[in-house]
Homo-oligomer: A and B are copies of this chain.
Amino acid sequence: MPSENGKTARTAPPEERRKQLIDATIEVIGEAGISGATLPEITRRAGLSMGLANFHFGSKDGLIRAVLISLAEEHRDMWKVQAGRSDLSPAGKIGAIIDAQFHPRICNRRKLAVWFAFFGNPMHRKFYQATATGIDDERMDVVTDLCAVIISDGDFSGVDARDVAATLEGLFDGLWLNILMYPDLFSADGAKAKVVAYLAAIFPAHFGGHQVSG
């Protein structure tokens, strides 16, 4: 039975509370950074008591980790769906992965701020490496394979699939950062266009001239 007063129920299943706290944490990190993401502020935002965060996550660190895991999984789910679409050509799949990378659910200021909060702190960077490296590696492998198919199909003797995939990873991250830092100069759509332009220069027959994705 839902609570009748519109407030959150006084008692709720753990998963609901966890999500509530994770969302509040993302909000706060986005606005105030990891150092500004204090338990008092997070729980105030979530409308819950401070003790509850420790009850559900063991410690503040546990909560922060849960945030990273939640974000990483959301991100992975996003591009993995695209990479698995059997209706797409290799170039189409790469295009779909690019779309996922800059999809509003992933690439918005609040979440970008959280990603770079993790990147910007050595301790969290280590945790990111321990947690999400596999996901990044996997995506790079997938893109590498797709590029290899394109290369073997056409005549791109001088191009190394791994180098292209690595350059794409760099572009993804760098454009994310510039969207975060200079929202007036960089937009998600502009970023997509730039990545596609890069690919069009490398693989003109596959990405040149026509719009790849929607």
Contacts and interface: CB of A to CB of B under 8 A. Distances in A.
Nearest to A176: B174
A67 to B, nearest CB: 14
A197 B202 CA distance: 9
Interface residues of A, number: 48
Contacts of A136: 182
Interface of A is mostly: helix
Nearest to A133: B182
A172 to B, nearest CB: 7
A78 interface: no
B119 A120 contact: yes
A125 interface: yes
Chain multiplicity (copies): 4
B121 A120 contact: yes
B177 A34 contact: no
Given A31-B122, A119-B116, A194 B174 contact: no
Contacts of A116: 116, 119-120
16 contacts: A30-B122, A34-B35, A34-B120, A117-B121, A119-B120, A119-B181, A133-B182, A167-B198, A170-B174, A170-B175, A171-B174, A173-B173, A173-B177, A174-B174, A174-B177, A201-B201
Interface of A: 30-36, 113, 116-125, 128-129, 133, 136, 163, 166-167, 169-178, 180-182, 185-186, 190-191, 193-194, 197-198, 201-202
